[in-house]
Amino acid sequence: MVNERVNHKWGMVVDIDRCTGCQACVVACQAENNIPLNTEAIFRQRRAIEWIHVERYWEGEFPDVKARFIPILCQHCENAPCEPVCPVYATYHNNQGMNVQVYNRCVGTRYCANNCSYQVRFFNYWEPVWPETLKNQLNPDVTVRSRGIMEKCSFDIQRLRKAEHVIEGQRGERITDENLREGNFLPACVQACPTTTLVFGDFNDPESQVSQMKEEHFVEGGRGYKLLEDLGTEPNVIYLKKVDIHAKTGVETHA
Amino acid sequence: MGITRRQFLRWSGASAVGAVVFNGCRIPEEELQVESPVDLPEDLVTGIDNWYATICRQDQESCGIIVRVVEGRAKKVEGNPDYPINRGKHNARSEAGLQSLYHPDRITEPLFREGSSGEFTPISWAEAHGKIADSLRNLPDKNRFLLVTQPLRGHMALLASEFVKSYGGKHMAFETLEQVTLRRAIKDVFGQDRLPDFDIEHSKYLLSFGADFLSTWLSPVKYSRGYGELRQGAGKRGVHVQVDSRFSMTAANADEWVPVKPGGEGVLAMSMMHVIIREGLGDRVAANALTGGNGYMALDAFRPNNSEVRDATGVDASRIEGLAHAFADPANQPSLAIGGGSAGAHTSGLFNLRAIYSLNLLVNNVSQPGGIFFNPAPPLEELDSREVLDMGVPASFRDWKEMDRPQVLMVRGVNPVHGLPPDANFTTAVENADFVVSFSSFMDETAAMANLIMPEHTYLEDWGDDVPDPGPRYQTLGLQQPVVRPFYPGTGSFGDEMLALGKELGLNINDSLGLSGNDSPTFQDLLKKGAEKLWMENRGSVKAATFDGFWNGILQRGGWWDTESTDKTSPAAPSILSMAWPNIAFQGPTGDDTYNLIPFLSNSIADGNLAHLPWLQAAPDPVTSMVWHTWVEINTKTAEEKGIRVGDMMEITSPNGTVKAPAYVHPAVPPWTVSMPIGQGHTTFGRYAEGVGVNTLSILAPITDVDTNALAWAATRVRIRNTGEHIDIPRFEGNVPAFEAEEGRIIKIASPR
């Protein structure tokens, strides 16, 4: 159960300068969250479900060409455009800074996906199907979503609930970066990321790495920014700019 | 209906109504199968998860992993935070091991057939064992036995080497796109038999030639971890420059990509050396040793302004000088040069890699933070013999081509029928063998040609160990334990089977492995034997008063390592480099519409041994976002000129054949090349691999490195032709409609501080 004593505000920092586009987060998320198999046919229909995915943008022409990677996941906006349009309150903002989706309220209007500026909501156009043996892998802590339901990144809320239960409920300690990591309570994408691009934690805890990174990088000339900041959605996922050694000198061949 | 089991039993036992109740209102079967908790293993508590440490065997890196097990089923793989190689990190490939365990198309029991065609019929493991034993016993010339496996390390290498030594015959390790040349270059330049550890984390200037080290090269999780720190760790941000004939995932992440002409990597490195020595920038002792005391004049042919250098590399003199200056710049020390992948896959492969690794000698970075660290010998003496270490060295293309035709062939863990180009004639060897045994868990191309299939447990159900290569600079022994019970009762352990065969055939391997006195030793017994020796040395990460305590300790932590046990040998003095102009040759068509074909290992399915896993098939290629297919990457401008659109079916023809694949057009393909991922085109390998894409390896020309006879897999030239057909290609890109976002640019750029 939600522990009322501790007031968390979960969030993430994504350092794009570290991201290599390796897809470890993508597959980790699919393993943890019982995401239906994205078959070839589903990709052709443009209906693949990837709660976190890596976008690749091109800049320039050969030979001065750059590919830039950016992991995109639900931004867990404070002013989430998806929330007010849901007629059945299936998506709402919880008291821990997360935008959550209640699957058994969802009636599949898809208004939320329409209104999401980040295109991170995914609709189950089909009943998910697994061969009988592969079902043995399914995570018992996560509901399998049926056809007609909207789904999206949950910050692996099942792990956070467990962390609250174990760390705060049983041990009576406060959740810190360390005990989240030690207990395998961090979101699956964060645990997997080989380059430590993704950092997860509690923005309400001034000691947490995310709070300190926010403080360090959200200064004049710092690397911190938010996606489509002008929209005023106030995301709880913040990004750190890619560093380009040619940024000031243009297309000079050497640093 | 509110009926409990106790009530049911009471009713049916005490009254005549029982039969009626039984028929008319059946208790669900599952309920009757529920076992009383007193009989369950102590760690199997309903609703509680357990994490077990083991190692991942999806690729050669073998990361330490921890696996979440709930009620006897493996649910999730995470990196083992203790394990020295990956330190808590892992990649998409290790994650997908679960799908191999629970794959719907696993072979569940041994299959046999007379002859090489006809239907397989299921037999018991004991019968299958009898059949192999008979075939080995009746083999007149024992030397015509061949064991083909992946490169083996640790106790499996020891067992296989003892088996081959006492029975006879030969072992060959198979690696698709083998690293034969790389190992030779490391030996030549540094005098090392083992691959060294590259300290990417602390490097300030990382120069990589062709090595796709963030994706598939050697130890990608370890390198990726170091790369994150190189970028935004505690120190000054390091610079990464990628010299590559293809825009790989690693090149895409580089601060600067130098698109070199295929095969010209070595010339570029020599040319940089010329600049460094001429300007007196590097270590003078090393410079003298490399040039035989003749200085830069010895390298005169490689001077950057020589037009031949320009022709071979496609890189301007000023840029080469810039690279040389940056590499040797005191402000950029420690700098590090690594090379591999396509840079070593040319007729001049060994020349290239020698030149590249010699750059390190000029900046004197051996055993320096941010440089190259040599790895010590394996922790146990018996794992360090020449025969055992050779089990981990892949055979070269020439070795395959010229191998003696085996009569009894045993294949474990690899699929050479799919992975070797047709010119290696491996398929013929399989066809002509009298008896072929496959230990594959899946009906892959090699297994489909076998007489007998003895499906192995997956690595999550089996014992094993690993001595990582490249290691983490100190002695390490990773331990693989079964995290779940075998999912199918009909599968078995390869190690156990080899030991049983040894006993059955009267070989004395039990004695030489120190297992005498044990009537039916298992592979686990062998591992314990090794662990016991480690325990007695009383050093390293786990120490305990009793062996049981030690064994539990290493199982819990996923292995044993001793951070004190670094390599103490001093590096051999640099030897003189060959200054002769290399022979860079290609095979295939020239002229209009012809290109160098640069094949590459897929970031997800690697060389194709993971093509059967749907998560990996569906993981987008980082650069193209392609999934579930083989594609051919073509430069945007070239495509415009030729009228090629994304999704046009192209015919790619080499002297060795033709394959058809859809075009993927992007701006970062050098106009003189096309590139294609390998690993698809399986005719049989389970439902998720069959009929997906084409086998790129099947069109590679049989051209080899002049020194090592390794396949020069990047030296094939091809002609491409638009067939006029067009398909809607499966890719992630465009999954969500792009929208105008010029105002709020998604990826923002900063300049370095």
Same domain flag for B14 and B71: no
pLDDT for the residue numbered B8: 40
- Inter-chain contact A196–B106, Cβ cutoff 8 Å? no
pLDDT for the residue numbered B30: 44
Residue B625's CATH number: 2.40.40.20
- The separation between the first and the last C-alpha atoms of chain B, rounded to the nearest angstrom, is 71
pLDDT beyond 70 at A251: no
Same domain flag for B207 and B355: yes
- On whether residue B468 sits in a domain, the answer given is no
Number of A–B residue contacts, CB under 8 Å = 268
Chain mean pLDDT for chain A: 90
pLDDT beyond 60 at A229: yes
Chain A residues with CB-CB distance to B73 below 8 A:
136-137
d(CA A10, CA A157): 10
- Over residues B206-231, mean pLDDT: 94
Same domain flag for B603 and B690: yes
d(CA B641, CA B722): 12
pLDDT digits (tens, 9 = 90+) for B182-197: 999 999 999 888 999 9
pLDDT for the residue numbered B72: 87
pLDDT for the residue numbered A226: 92
pLDDT for the residue numbered B31: 44
Nearest to A31 among B76, B668, B741 (CB): B76
Q: Which of B66, B613, B747 should one mutate to test binding to chain A, selecting the residue with the greatest count of A CBs within 10 A?
A: B747
- On whether residue B334 sits in a domain, the answer given is yes
Does CATH place domain A10-240 in 3.40.50.1000? Answer: no
Last residue of a domain, which of B63, B80, B101?
B101
Same domain flag for B220 and B165: no
Q: Which among B607, B662, B606, B675 has a CA at the least distance from the CA of B635?
A: B675
- Percent of chain B beyond pLDDT 70? 93
Compute the radius of gyration of chain A from its Cα atoms. 19
Nearest to B102 among A22, A55, A137 (CB): A137
Same domain flag for B271 and B352: yes
- On whether residue B569 sits in a domain, the answer given is no
pLDDT for the residue numbered B32: 45
Nearest to A15 among B95, B101, B232 (CB): B232
Nearest to A119 among B51, B620, B736 (CB): B736
pLDDT beyond 70 at B66: yes
Q: Where do runs of H (alpha helix) occur along B78-170? A: 92-95, 97-101, 125-137, 154-167
Burial (CB < 10 A; 0-12, 13-18, 19+), residue B117, is exposed
Q: Residue for token digits 């686990």?
A: B524
Q: Which of B50, B106, B224, B460 should one mutate to test binding to chain A, selecting the residue with the greatest count of A CBs within 10 A?
A: B224
pLDDT beyond 70 at A98: yes
- Inter-chain contact A137–B99, Cβ cutoff 8 Å? yes
- Inter-chain contact B92–A255, Cβ cutoff 8 Å? no
pLDDT beyond 70 at B84: yes
Chain A residues with CB-CB distance to B75 below 8 A:
137-140
The token duo for B684 is: 């049989």
pLDDT for the residue numbered B233: 83
DSSP label at residue B587: B
Nearest to B104 among A31, A69, A133 (CB): A133
Helix orientation angle between B265-278 and B284-291, rounded to the nearest 10 degrees: 130
Within 10 angstroms of residue B705's Cβ, the number of other Cβ atoms is 28
Q: Taking CA atoms, what residue in B is nearest to A196?
A: B228
pLDDT for the residue numbered B489: 92
The token duo for B21 is: 């109740």
How many Å lie between the alpha carbon of A209 and the closest alpha carbon of chain B? 14
- Over residues B350-374, mean pLDDT: 93
- Inter-chain contact B636–A18, Cβ cutoff 8 Å? no
- Inter-chain contact B73–A136, Cβ cutoff 8 Å? yes
In the chain, the amino acid numbered B224 is S
pLDDT for the residue numbered B529: 92
Q: Taking CA atoms, what residue in B is nearest to A120?
A: B736
d(CA B578, CA B355): 9
- Over residues B578-586, mean pLDDT: 91
Same domain flag for B340 and B224: yes
Q: Which of B76, B675, B736, B740 should one mutate to test binding to chain A, selecting the residue with the greatest count of A CBs within 10 A?
A: B736
- Inter-chain contact B622–A56, Cβ cutoff 8 Å? yes
Same domain flag for B433 and B301: no
pLDDT digits (tens, 9 = 90+) for B499-524: 999 999 988 888 888 888 888 899 99
Nearest to B99 among A55, A134, A223 (CB): A134
- Inter-chain contact B636–A44, Cβ cutoff 8 Å? no
DSSP label at residue B57: -
- Inter-chain contact B615–A225, Cβ cutoff 8 Å? no
pLDDT beyond 70 at B6: no
In the chain, the amino acid numbered A111 is Y
Number of domains in chain B: 5
Nearest to B741 among A24, A60, A228 (CB): A228
pLDDT beyond 90 at B749: no
- On whether residue B751 sits in a domain, the answer given is no
- Place B25 in a pLDDT band, splitting at 50, 70 and 90: very low
d(CA B246, CA B259): 7
Chain B residues with CB-CB distance to A15 below 8 A:
231-232
Taking a C-beta distance cutoff of 8 angstroms, is the pair A92, A100 a contact? yes
pLDDT for the residue numbered A217: 92
pLDDT for the residue numbered B1: 40
Residue B192: C-alpha distances to residues B195, B196, B290, B520 (Å) = 7, 8, 17, 39
pLDDT for the residue numbered B550: 95
pLDDT for the residue numbered B11: 39
Same domain flag for B282 and B265: yes
Taking a C-beta distance cutoff of 8 angstroms, is the pair B686, B105 a contact? yes
Q: Taking CA atoms, what residue in B is nearest to A130?
A: B104
- Over residues B10-37, mean pLDDT: 41
Minimum mean pLDDT range among A77-86, B17-26, B33-42, B743-752: B17-26
- On whether residue B553 sits in a domain, the answer given is no
Same domain flag for B223 and B295: yes
- Inter-chain contact A194–B74, Cβ cutoff 8 Å? no
d(CA B716, CA B116): 33
List chain A domain ranges: 10-240
Chain mean pLDDT for chain B: 89
DSSP H or E run through B221 = helix B220-232
pLDDT beyond 90 at A34: yes
Same domain flag for B709 and B656: yes
How many Å lie between the alpha carbon of B368 and the closest alpha carbon of chain A? 23
Residue-number span of the structural domain to which B322 is assigned: 197-242+250-373
Residue B409's CATH number: 3.40.50.740
pLDDT for the residue numbered B627: 95
pLDDT for the residue numbered B7: 43
pLDDT beyond 60 at A94: yes
- The separation between the first and the last C-alpha atoms of chain A, rounded to the nearest angstrom, is 54
pLDDT beyond 90 at B526: yes
Q: Which among B207, B211, B238 has a CA at the least distance from the CA of A17?
A: B238
- Percent of chain B beyond pLDDT 90? 78
pLDDT for the residue numbered B293: 87
Nearest to B747 among A38, A68, A181 (CB): A68
How many Å lie between the alpha carbon of A146 and the closest alpha carbon of chain B? 20
- On whether residue B742 sits in a domain, the answer given is no
- On whether residue B555 sits in a domain, the answer given is no
- Percent of chain A beyond pLDDT 70? 94
pLDDT for the residue numbered B13: 38
More confident residue, B41 or B257: B257
Same domain flag for B278 and B184: no
Same domain flag for B234 and B180: no
Burial (CB < 10 A; 0-12, 13-18, 19+), residue B44, is middle
Chain B residues with CB-CB distance to A48 below 8 A:
618, 627, 732, 735
- Inter-chain contact B747–A139, Cβ cutoff 8 Å? no
Order across the sheet with B452-453: list the strands.
B121-122, B111-112, B452-453, B435-438, B408-412, B145-149, B170-173
pLDDT digits (tens, 9 = 90+) for B380-435: 999 999 999 999 999 999 999 998 889 999 999 999 999 999 888 899 999 999 99
Q: Determine if residue B628 is left, alpha or beta; phi over 0 gives left, psi from -120 to 50 gives alpha, anything else beta.
A: left
Angle B748-B750-B752 from CA coordinates, rounded to 5° = 155
